[in-house]
């Protein structure tokens, strides 16, 4: 069974600074997908970034980037130039790769990291 671990229950960062959220996972699969989702106080789940395990290049989305270390089973999220609107719970998630290029569908989530951006 796959598991996802986020070892930092809470973190804080000053506005405009950089913060890194940690995520490790355990799987015997070789092909899979990894995601970071953001959940602000509004409760809405929003995809931040997605990484395919077969791609060596780290995914980036504007101020968000990941450090994907497949051998170490590590998938950290770096937020640059933190903004007040980045205050949220951040969830790391794993999705198993399925047949015919598909997926097994369900996301396996870590317990989340609560990030506070301070002015």
Residue numbers of the site for other proteins (CB under 8 A)?
33, 35, 39, 43-47, 50, 52, 89, 91, 95, 97-98, 100-109, 111-112
CA distance to 29, 34, 109, per residue, from 1 (Å): 10, 15, 13
8 Å CB contact between 27 and 35: no
Smallest gap from residue 94 Cβ to other proteins (A): 11
User: Rounded CA gap, 25 and 34, in Å?
Assistant: 10
Smallest gap from residue 79 Cβ to other proteins (A): 19
Q: Please give the backbone phi and psi of residue 86, each rounded to the nearest 5 degrees, phi first.
A: -80, -10
Smallest gap from residue 16 Cβ to other proteins (A): 27
Give the nearer residue to other proteins in terms of CB position, either 45 or 63: 45
Give the nearer residue to other proteins in terms of CB position, either 16 or 55: 55
Give the nearer residue to other proteins in terms of CB position, either 66 or 89: 89
**Dihedral over Cα of 72, 65, 86, 91: its sign:** negative
């Amino acid at each position: 069974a796959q598991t996802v671990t986020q070892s930092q229950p809470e973190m804080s960062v000053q506005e405009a600074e950089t913060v890194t959220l940690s995520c490790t996972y355990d799987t015997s699969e070789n092909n899979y997908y990894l995601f970071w989702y953001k959940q602000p106080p509004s409760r809405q789940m929003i995809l931040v970034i997605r990484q395919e395990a077969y791609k060596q290049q780290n995914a980036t989305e504007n101020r968000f980037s990941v450090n994907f270390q497949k051998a170490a089973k590590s998938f950290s999220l770096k937020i640059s130039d933190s903004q007040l609107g980045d205050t949220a719970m951040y969830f790391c998630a794993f999705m198993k790769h399925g047949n015919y290029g598909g997926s097994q569908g369900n996301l396996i989530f870590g317990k989340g990291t609560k990030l506070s951006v301070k002015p």
